[in-house]
Amino acid sequence: MAVYEYRCRTCDDLFELRRPMSESDAPAACPQGHADTVRLLSVFASAPYLHSGAAPTLDAVLENVTHRSAGSGGADMLTSAGDRQALVRFLKSIDRSTEPFTVVNRPANLCGPTPP
Ligand SMILES: [Zn+2]
């Protein structure tokens, strides 16, 4: 058994279900009975964050200027608390239907492959 997180596309409710892994993608009605739901990436399950586990939440990760600006050459592009909250909301909303996107203003010294 595992815990899976779902979002209802009708009422936007977030809910969890404990079910066998073989049923992770089975239909899951929300607590209000709506059937149009989607399983989320469940980033909550990967907490605590940072190599030391020092950040219990995604909000805590983004509050740490050193970590949120790592790999950016020191540029802190998330100085706005509202922007940080929007990023956390986005991370928690990722599901299979989330379209991949390209970083538009990619710092030159960012690790990883350069997108086409
Ligand atoms: Zn619902």
Predicted confidence band of residue 28 (pLDDT cuts 50, 70, 90):
very high
Q: Where are the beta strands (DSSP E) in the chain?
A: 2-8, 14-19, 37-39
Q: Distance, CA 57 to ligand 1 centroid (Å)?
A: 25
Q: What is the pTM of this model?
A: 0.67
**Do residues 6 and 32 lie in contact, with contact meaning Cβ atoms separated by under 8 Å?**
no
104-106-111 Cα angle (round to 5):
140
Q: Domain residue spans in the chain?
A: 1-40, 41-95
Q: What is the mean pLDDT of residues 16-39?
A: 93
Give the DSSP letter of residue 98. Answer: P
The pLDDT of residue 52: 86
In the predicted structure, residue 83 carries a pLDDT above the cut 90: yes
Q: Distance, CA 12 to ligand 1 centroid (Å)?
A: 6
Q: Distance, CA 66 to ligand 1 centroid (Å)?
A: 39
